[in-house]
Amino acid sequence: MPFTPIHMGPGIFIKAILQGSFSLMVFGWTQIVMDIQPLIVMITGEGHLHGFTHTYIGAILIALFSALTGKYLSELGLKILTISNENSVVSIKWWVVLLSAFIGSFSHVLLDSIMHADVEPFFPLTIDNQFLDLISVPMLHKACLYSGLIGAAIYYGVNWRLKAN
């Protein structure tokens, strides 16, 4: 994936389905954290492009880190954006934060496993990538884009309907 934006499509769709039981901000933060290691490799030219962070074991650690930091960053962001009532304290429940971070990190590994030959999702058990070329890269990009568009339509449709009642 060309970094985080394409990964956000499935996240937007999941947000539309789960609504308040999913934090798109924590999910997005997790996408950024996941791609720090490949970014460092691209800048320095040293290391394995999709290394340990793009394994499911690495994804567990990334999810935990992203949850711990993302909860407070997201709450601060929501407060700054005044998305909540100005008199209320913005608080995202820990189970929502953890669910969002784990969905974010695991989906990131899965999507990158489909298109990058150097991803070893089940390392250290095996270095084989059974997901590689599961679908074509253009089809993967379209699926991510369309899931985001459909998710946005569902999200705004549900919220519009709720406000109408």
In terms of Cα–Cα distance, which of 41, 37, 17, 39 is closest to 103? Answer: 17
User: pLDDT-derived band of residue 84, with 50, 70 and 90 as boundaries?
Assistant: low
| Span 6-24, pLDDT tens digits | 899 999 999 999 999 999 9
Q: Please enumerate in sequence order all residues whose Cβ is within 8 A of that of 13, keeping only pairs 6 or more positions apart, or say none.
A: 147, 148, 150, 151, 154
User: Coil, strand, or helix at residue 155?
Assistant: helix
Q: Which helix (H) or strand (E) holds 57?
A: helix 56-80
Residue type, 24: L
Cα separation, 120 vs 64, in Å, equals 20
pLDDT of residue 3: 60
Distance of CA 32 to the CA centre of its chain: 8
Mean pLDDT of 33-56: 93
Q: Please enumerate in sequence order all residues whose Cβ is within 8 A of that of 92, keeping only pairs 6 or more positions apart, or say none.
A: 23, 26, 71, 74, 75, 78
pLDDT of residue 105: 98
**55 DSSP assignment:** S
Asked if the model's pLDDT at residue 50 lies above 60, the reply is yes
User: pLDDT-derived band of residue 161, with 50, 70 and 90 as boundaries?
Assistant: confident
Cα separation, 115 vs 108, in Å, equals 11
Domain limits, the chain = 4-164
Q: Indicate the pTM of the whole model.
A: 0.91
pLDDT of residue 90: 78
pLDDT of residue 103: 98
Mean pLDDT of 59-72: 98
- The percentage of residues in the chain with a pLDDT greater than 70, rounded to a whole number, is 93
- State the average pLDDT for the chain: 92
